[in-house]
DNA sequence: ATAAACCTTAGACTAGACTCTAATGTCAAG
DNA sequence: CTTGACATTAGAGTCTAGTCTAAGGTTTAT
């Protein structure tokens, strides 16, 4: 199949497929007489492998490592793959934790504000941003008084 | 205070402070005779305001909006600020959800693999990446048999 | 034979938030 | 009076992962 068909089958754009090739990730197993990229079913599998890896959060570089393991399994050991997975789990957990902290702060920010058409003169959001730090573990000391608005 | 001191007080680098100025976010209230930026306590407050907003996940552009509300509160209404906050909450929730999906997939990936020094010939991680899609809501059909390894 | 739809390449551009460089000027201390 | 730490500017570079363009060549159907 040609690149357009591969794009359809894989859910990636032709641009992206050529970009991946430039990055050394995937390449067509053959070329037609007119120099068109011709992909096999195995190529499609490889592309899907890449897409799945990306969807799980692996970077193109990490995907490259997986691909090289996949290309010559006996030359590699399980630990290599598992280390990558564990590292990624750690990274994703970190990020989720950070975002949950943000979310907590954002809810405090949002909840304090009436959100109406009142003048922002005493807007709690602006006040909280003026006096609160996100780093704290607890006790975001919202400036006293005012309550909503 | 000069920019180096502001950097220390705010936890941002001098580079970043100048960059924020170029982006139109913060500027020194005065300049010395030798053209050095001279910052006031109010400037420090503004910079901290920016940093806190950033820490909560707002983009520089969004921070700019908050700053303009803060600069002339009576000219704005609470809704403007609250809308931004709510939108950000939505975005962060979305991202957390995505990452939790990844995490689930990653755990399945990792748990299936022994992670030892065994050859990767039958490595479950590579197998799962070959046959599993992250998009599915449930039932990541790990290829049958093999179990660990 | 000609238009539509496909393919090729190198290389530029995008986003967001910095981060750094070069070349130069200023200031405080010893 | 020199050294070192600080400051200035414009502008380039970094990172990741694409995304797009220009200028052409090929294939397929009508």
Between CA B94 and CA B133 the distance in angstroms is 20
Between CA A46 and CA B136 the distance in angstroms is 19
The arithmetic mean of pLDDT across residues A82-95, rounded, is 96
Between CA B51 and CA B125 the distance in angstroms is 41
Residue B100 included in any domain: yes
Give, in Å, how far the C1' of C15 lies from the CA of B149.
Answer: 41
> What's the distance, Cα to Cα, between the start and end of chain B in Å?
61
Of A52, A102, A107, the CB nearest to B129: A52
pLDDT at residue B92 is higher than 70: yes
Q: What percent of chain B has pLDDT over 90?
A: 85
Q: What is the pLDDT of residues A33-64, one digit of tens each?
A: 999 999 999 999 999 999 999 999 999 999 99
The arithmetic mean of pLDDT across residues A55-78, rounded, is 96
pLDDT at residue B141 is higher than 60: no
The arithmetic mean of pLDDT across residues A8-14, rounded, is 96
pLDDT at residue B91 is higher than 60: yes
pLDDT for residue A66: 97
CB B27 within 7 Å, strand D: no
Residue A92 included in any domain: no
Is the Cβ pair B106, A132 closer than 8 Å? no
Residue A37 included in any domain: yes
The DSSP symbol for B143 reads: P
Do B109 and B139 fall within a single domain?
yes
Is the Cβ pair A78, B115 closer than 8 Å? yes
Residue A37 DSSP SS3? strand
Between CA A72 and CA A84 the distance in angstroms is 17
Do B67 and B101 fall within a single domain?
no
Residue A141 included in any domain: yes
- Per the structure, the count of domains in chain A is 2
Do B98 and B71 fall within a single domain?
no
pLDDT for residue A88: 97
Q: What is the pLDDT of residues B102-111, one digit of tens each?
A: 999 999 999 9
Do B63 and B126 fall within a single domain?
no
Do B103 and B35 fall within a single domain?
no
pLDDT confidence of B76, banded at 50, 70, 90? very high
> Counting Cβ atoms within 10 Å, is residue B131 exposed (0-12), middle (13-18) or buried (19+)?
middle
Which of B45, B76, B107 marks a domain boundary?
A: B76
The arithmetic mean of pLDDT across residues A96-123, rounded, is 94
Q: What is the pLDDT of residues A125-143, one digit of tens each?
A: 999 999 876 654 443 344 4
Which of B 53-112 have CB under 7 A of nucleic chain C?
54, 59-61
Is the Cβ pair A125, B55 closer than 8 Å? no
Residue B85 included in any domain: no
Residue B81 included in any domain: no
What per-residue string of b and e applies to B73-96 under the rule 16 or more CB within 10 Å gives b? Answer: beebbbbbbbebbbebbeebeebb
pLDDT for residue B8: 95
Q: Identify the residue whose Cα has the smallest distance to the C1' of C7.
A: A36
pLDDT for residue A139: 38
pLDDT for residue B134: 56
Region of residue B35 (phi > 0: left; psi between -120 and 50: alpha; otherwise: beta): left
pLDDT for residue B20: 97
Q: What is the pLDDT of residues B22-70, one digit of tens each?
A: 999 999 999 999 999 999 999 999 999 999 999 999 999 999 999 999 9
CB B93 within 7 Å, strand D: no
Contacts (Cβ under 8 Å, ≥6 apart) of B112: B124, B125, B127, B128, B142, B147, B148
Residue A71 included in any domain: no
Residue B83 DSSP SS3? helix
Which of A89, A85, A93, A45 is closest to A66 using CA atoms?
Answer: A85
Q: For residue A144, give its domain range.
A: 98-149
Instruction: Report whether A132 contacts A142 (CB < 8 A).
Output: yes
Is the Cβ pair B99, A109 closer than 8 Å? no
Do B19 and B52 fall within a single domain?
yes
The domain that contains A20 carries what CATH number?
1.10.1660.10
Residue A82 included in any domain: no
């Amino acid at each position: 199949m040609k690149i357009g068909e591969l794009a359809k089958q894989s859910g990636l754009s032709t641009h992206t497929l050529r970009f991946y090739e430039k990055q050394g990730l995937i390449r067509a197993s053959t070329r037609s007489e007119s120099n068109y990229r011709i992909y096999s079913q195995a190529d499609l599998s490889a592309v899907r492998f890449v897409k799945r890896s990306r969807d799980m959060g692996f970077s193109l570089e990490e995907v490259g490592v997986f691909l090289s393991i996949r290309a010559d399994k006996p030359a590699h050991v399980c630990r290599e793959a598992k280390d990558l997975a564990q590292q990624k789990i750690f990274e994703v957990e970190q990020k989720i934790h950070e975002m949950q902290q943000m979310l907590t702060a954002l809810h405090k920010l949002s909840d304090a504000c009436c959100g109406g058409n009142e003048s922002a003169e005493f807007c709690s959001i602006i006040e909280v941003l003026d006096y609160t730090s996100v780093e704290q573990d607890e006790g975001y000391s919202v400036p006293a008084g005012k309550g909503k608005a």
